[in-house]
Amino acid sequence: MSKFINDFVVGIDVSSEFSVVAMLEPNGSLIRKPFRIDHNPKGFNKLLEILKKEEERLKQKPIYFVESTGIFHLPLFFFLRSNDLKGFVLNPLCVYSTKNFDLRKVKTDAKDAESIARLAKFQEVKYSLVPEPQILALRMMTREYYAMSDMLTELKNRLCTDLYLLFPGYIDIFANPFGKASLEVLKRYPSPRALSEADPHELTVMISKFSRKAVPWALKKVETLFEVTNHAMSMPMEFDILSLKIKAHVENIENFQNRLDDIIKQLKTMIQSSDFPAKERRYIGLLEEMPGIGFLTAVTLIAEIGDFSKFHSPKAFVAFFGIDPSVNQSGKFNGDRNKISKRGTRFGRRVLFTAALASIRTTRKGDAINPVLRDYYHLKCENKKKKVALVAIMHKLLNYIFAVLRDEKPFVLRSPKDHQAWRHTKETVFKLAA
């Protein structure tokens, strides 16, 4: 049974420019027909006035529920919260499940608002609070970073396509064709004909400077460049028009890279400010100390998690990231090819996937980043597909992260045998203390 069964419940169906509000009395009946409010000061104050009037009549404070709609529900949510009203956010998947409560197929904003209110009042449904403004801003900044990173990847792919046609072989010259040295070459000499007229000495000095490598290394790159240039000269002259595209792509790539660097700087400034919650700052520091997790991954994980206290078990934590296995069972049938649910935060899964890949890699010297997880991955690969084994690593990482945040202690790398011995010692000490 819902804990709000005897409360004055308000359901709000939010859109970009207006919302529709439905109010239920403690006995469950509609107080009035669902009504519309515009997303402006006049509309917000109208809603507040109505809620206060009903609060005086019922002698109960309203509890409002909104469906998570990206950013559109936030202005109204924070307005009501600033006026000492309590509210929660419902997952869209839970709200969507109510569409088949009635046999008739009716889809209106008023019906949706009433469904949200009835769902919260009568069903035991999962709900959440909006994070603190600092954490919410952190989440928006990290998501902006990944959105821009995806656009940068698209630009790089388009540049590669043009280079394959205009400058065959160029992609293989530099280890990173999008590094500073390579981009500077393309910026100054965006076509084979332009590069064929370049001064070899000047080109060598430039590559050495931007790559921060020795002159002999740069000289070998210049020799290879001229070999590729001679081969590319056989391409039709009409293709030289692509040099304009290449130059534009290079400038855009550099701009995006600079903007991504600026976001990282802004994130660091935000976290170091006195207004940022000390507990979350501590969490980020603890995650950064874990092998395979860098600054951006740690920040993204904490931003997506929000209030860690809402997780009471590792299973709930794993489910939040959508790494938990789906279940397919009916009658005597039990599905054995179940995929992960993917019901949680996709940005969290994205960085977790990156962290899992980093954890099973080795350094340039051949040392494992996380030898325990690397051994576990190879063990899984003996009878599982690589992606399945990688999901198992993600699951392990989430258990590590949960323990670190729960205990607020740095991560300690232990082998499975050492970990069992440590747990046995801990349980013995606990029993003696009891």
b/e burial code for range 15-46 (CB count within 10 A of at least 16 → b): eeeebbbbbbbeeeeeeeebebbebeeebbeb
239 pLDDT higher than 80: no
Distance separating alpha carbons of residues 277 and 281, to the nearest angstrom: 6
C-alpha to C-alpha distance for 38 and 18, rounded to whole angstroms: 4
Q: Global pTM?
A: 0.83
For residues 9 and 51, what is the distance between their CA atoms, to the nearest angstrom? 10
The answer to whether 120 touches 155, Cβ cutoff 8 Å, is no
**pLDDT confidence tier of residue 327, bands split at 50, 70 and 90:** low
Edge to edge, the sheet with strand 127-128 lists 35-38, 18-24, 8-14, 62-67, 86-90, 127-128
Question: Is the CB of residue 114 less than 8 Å from the CB of residue 22?
Answer: yes
Virtual CA dihedral for 240, 241, 242, 248, nearest 10 degrees? 120
Distance between first and last Cα of the chain: 36
What percentage of the chain has pLDDT greater than the value 70?
88
CB-based burial of residue 149 (10 Å sphere; 0-12 exposed, 13-18 middle, 19+ buried)? Answer: middle
Residue 228 reports pLDDT greater than 80: yes
Task: Kindly state the tokens that stand for 307.
Answer: 């209030």
What's the pLDDT band for 258 if we cut at 50, 70, 90?
very high
Per-residue pLDDT, 299: 95
How confident is the prediction for the chain on average, in pLDDT? 86
pLDDT at 285 over 80: yes
Q: What is the distance between the alpha carbons of residues 115 and 64, in angstroms, rounded to a whole number?
A: 13
> Do residues 1 and 55 touch, judged by C-beta distance below 8 A?
no
Dihedral sign, Cα of residue 109, residue 111, residue 113, residue 119:
negative
Q: How confident is the model at residue 163 (pLDDT cuts 50, 70, 90)?
A: confident
* DSSP label at residue 380: H
Residue pLDDT, tens place only, 169-194: 888 898 889 999 999 999 998 888 88
